[in-house]
Amino acid sequence: MDINIFIERRKSLKMSQVKLCKGICTQSTLSKFENNGRVPSLTILNKLCERLGLSVDDLYRNSIASTSHMKTVLDRIESELMMESYPKVVKSLAEIDVTEINNVTLKMRFYYQKGLFGALTNGKYEETFFYFSQILDDLDERHQTIYTYLSYVGLGILYSRLNQIKEAEFYFSKVLDYIETHKNENFEKSSINAYLRILTIVFYTAEFYIKVGNYDLSEELINLGIKLCSEQHITYYLPRLKFLAAKIAIDRNQPHNVIDGLLTESLAFAKINNNEVVELRINALRKKYESENEN
């Protein structure tokens, strides 16, 4: 961050520290920022910059830690998480210093990705809770963005893996309410990554309700996921959704041709997306199913 850009703009406008910080923060907070480099909260910094006709990103224009750079890395992590490429996720997350993220939305993306990664890979529970709490208790404390519901998904996954089903269902029920409210074309789907976030919510919620035996609800969610995939010709989540459908079909003792068809479709989409993790799961499920149904 280049604090001189901030100071030079204030002085060029002939604005005193007292006038600039009025109604935003104390003069002491502003003085510590300008003289000692102690960065205030992102909310305060945003307001100070706005008063000067700047954006926070303007203070980073000479740094690689720009908004565009961060967005590129976070976009990559989102895809890597979806493909379950966890070694790549570790490397990509290591590229980011959260203190250099100057955009609230991007900071929420970072914390949800860190938290989801921890939940999916049995990371330290206290760290996972911390990442989600940054969103729920600070950055989106009014719970108005999709990142709140992604945090609920992560917490639900965490409790489910601890086999604390009641606690997991508490969070997934909140997610389910969100899906029910928005499923009729009201999701925010401005980009491919926006679709992936919605699909992440739908997929893991469906997976949880399979675990607790609510197959009707799971099938409804899977069908919604497939519909969302078809809207933008997104194939990334299709192998995993078809895999869940196959698991339901097996548990419900549906005809062999139905199960075989779902497994075959799932495998085909996995190969298209080079998703070796899902390929292994499909082959393992098929082998188990066939061995259990031998004459």
Do 214 and 243 share a structural domain? no
Do 191 and 83 share a structural domain? yes
Residues 6+ apart with CB under 8 A from 27: 17, 18, 21
pLDDT at position 58 is 78
Do 288 and 186 share a structural domain? no
pLDDT at position 66 is 63
Do 260 and 215 share a structural domain? no
pLDDT at position 273 is 86
- For the chain, residues with pLDDT lower than 50 are 64
pLDDT at position 130 is 96
Phi-psi group of 53: left, alpha or beta (phi > 0 → left; psi -120 to 50 → alpha; rest → beta): left
Q: Which of 234, 252, 282 is the last residue of a domain?
A: 234
Do 157 and 109 share a structural domain? yes
Do 208 and 107 share a structural domain? yes
pLDDT at position 133 is 95
| Euclidean distance between CA atoms 129 and 85, whole angstroms | 22
**Structural domain count, the chain:** 3
Q: Which of 18, 42, 60 is the last residue of a domain?
A: 60
pTM of the model: 0.77
Phi-psi group of 25: left, alpha or beta (phi > 0 → left; psi -120 to 50 → alpha; rest → beta): beta
Residues 6+ apart with CB under 8 A from 105: 145
**Which domain does 248 fall in, by range?**
235-295
CATH number, domain containing residue 132: 1.25.40
Do 159 and 221 share a structural domain? yes
| Euclidean distance between CA atoms 248 and 211, whole angstroms | 10
Crossing angle of the two packed helices 146-161 and 125-134, in degrees rounded to 10: 160
Do 72 and 161 share a structural domain? yes
Do 176 and 73 share a structural domain? yes
CATH number, domain containing residue 39: 1.10.260.40
Do 206 and 110 share a structural domain? yes
Instruction: Give the pLDDT confidence of 108-155 residue by residue, as tens digits.
Output: 999 999 999 999 999 999 999 999 999 999 899 889 899 999 999 999
Do 191 and 94 share a structural domain? yes
Are 82 and 237 in contact, with CB atoms under 8 Å apart? Answer: yes
Do 46 and 190 share a structural domain? no
Q: Which of 44, 60, 76 is the last residue of a domain?
A: 60
